Structure 1
Amino acid sequence: MAAQPLPSAEPAACRVLGLRERKKQRTRDALVSAAHRLFLSQGYGRTTVDEIAAEVDVSQRTFFRYFSNKEEVALAVLADAEDYFVATLRERPASENPLQALRSSIVLAWRDLSDTGSDTGVTAALELIQLIEETPVLLAAHLRRITEQERLIAELIARREGLDPAVDLRPRVLAAVFGGVLRSAHLAWSSGQSAPGPEGMIAVIESHFDQLGPALAADWR
């Protein structure tokens, strides 16, 4: 199932690509789509880089111009979505507190992902979440990326609030909490505890954030 490019958070003038850049983007998108189809149809472990390249009629050498390894192409759909989330977070109004900005950004990112004119992009992302949980090597790579994203979010929040993250621990703590809530929501969705599709995922994310305050501060008894 082909993964559609995410809407850009950059100004329109910055999104104009030359012919060479558009061709490179099409090749990258084709490799991601081919890999996604093969991983879902025959499994991640049984799919080779040569097979992915052959699906797009390019060489293995061309594949490695775009991706370092098979893990990277497998996670590309979610990686692009995560990058879009970070770009969205940078655009949130200063009037929002950090947690509000994070929550609004992740919900908006999922909504934008499902509003690209086709449901294939969001379907690919949702299918990938399930594939990751079933594939130990992908889960390990995904968790490494989540750790890096938490560091980036902490730095972004610290800059937004005018804090030094080396001194003030709140940005790092909030980034870790946000990552944990999001992973819990993803696990709940992938286990079939909610409606399918993007609106089901958004509802699960919202419900998890609704419980964050009570879980941290309320008397449980």
Structure 2
Amino acid sequence: MPTEDGPRMGLRERKKQRTRDALSQAAVLLIVERGWGGVTEEDIAAAADVSVRTFRNYFSGKAEAVAARHVDRVRRIAGELRARPAAEPLWEAAGNAVRGQFAPEHDIDRSAHERHRADGIRLMLNEPALQGELAKAHAAAEAELTAAIGERTGTDPVGDLYPKLAAAALGATLSAVITHCLQAEPPLPLGQVLDEALDRLTSGLPVP
């Protein structure tokens, strides 16, 4: 029987995650709108309605706040992948998990229909000050996917190649889709390109 501490801890963790999400989203939206140099930690905290001290409890700076959005999204994908029906083929389950995090109403997809917003996202992602945090974020995200795929396929995330290969392929697919959509003239709807990319991935990398 669960103790009172369990539900309370769960509530605290959910509240912390909501604060983290709000800060990360505020960082992305402000930087896209104003440019990297036009946004401070104080701006991000104010937009999320928290103190600067709270911001610094979650992130070392605005680069980490931006990169966290990718890690958190992939963690949700990994969690959804674990929750999909066991009988569902891996790549069908992965596709469904990914689509749930890249729905048409997602801010990146909305901005893809607006030239200035697409330009802002591209400039943000190419910001040199962000590159180190993005590299760490990609590594953390790939580790999450590797673990989830290992569980799903009964393979060892450490000792077997397959979950690493599958996670790397899925992560690279997501990155390629976002880049392709933002660089197209005019920017392409992310959902449509994502469906095409996932279909191609599914047909070319079967479960061993």
| Counterpart in the other structure of 2:138 | 146
| Counterpart in the other structure of 1:41 | 33
Q: 1:135 aligns with which of 115, 127, 138?
A: 127
Distance 1:159 1:21, change over 3 A: closer
Distance 1:129 1:85, change over 3 A: farther
CA distance in 1, matches of 2:147, 2:78: 11
| Counterpart in the other structure of 1:104 | 96
Q: Is the 8 A contact 2:71 2:141 kept in 1?
A: no
Q: Is the 8 A contact 1:132 1:139 kept in 2?
A: no
Matching of residue 156 in structure 1 with residue 145 in structure 2: no
| Counterpart in the other structure of 1:6 | none
Q: Is the 8 A contact 2:74 2:144 kept in 1?
A: no
Q: TM-score, normalised by structure 2?
A: 0.72
Q: TM-score, normalised by structure 1?
A: 0.68
Task: State the identity %.
Answer: 31
| Counterpart in the other structure of 1:3 | none
Structure 1 residue runs without a partner (length 5+): 1-12
Return the offset for 1:80.
3.3
CA distance in 2, matches of 1:55, 1:166: 41
Matching of residue 205 in structure 1 with residue 179 in structure 2: no
Q: Is the 8 A contact 2:109 2:190 kept in 1?
A: no
Letter in 1 for 2:179: L
Q: 2:58 aligns with which of 41, 66, 86?
A: 66
Q: Is the 8 A contact 1:31 1:63 kept in 2?
A: yes
Return the offset for 1:35.
2.9
Structure 2 residue runs without a partner (length 5+): 1-6
- Structure 1 residues 166-177: aligned runs within 5 Å: 166-177=158-169
Q: 1:191 aligns with which of 183, 190, 198?
A: 183
- The count of aligned residue pairs is 195
CA distance in 2, matches of 1:65, 1:57: 14
CA distance in 1, matches of 2:158, 2:94: 21
Higher helix share: 2
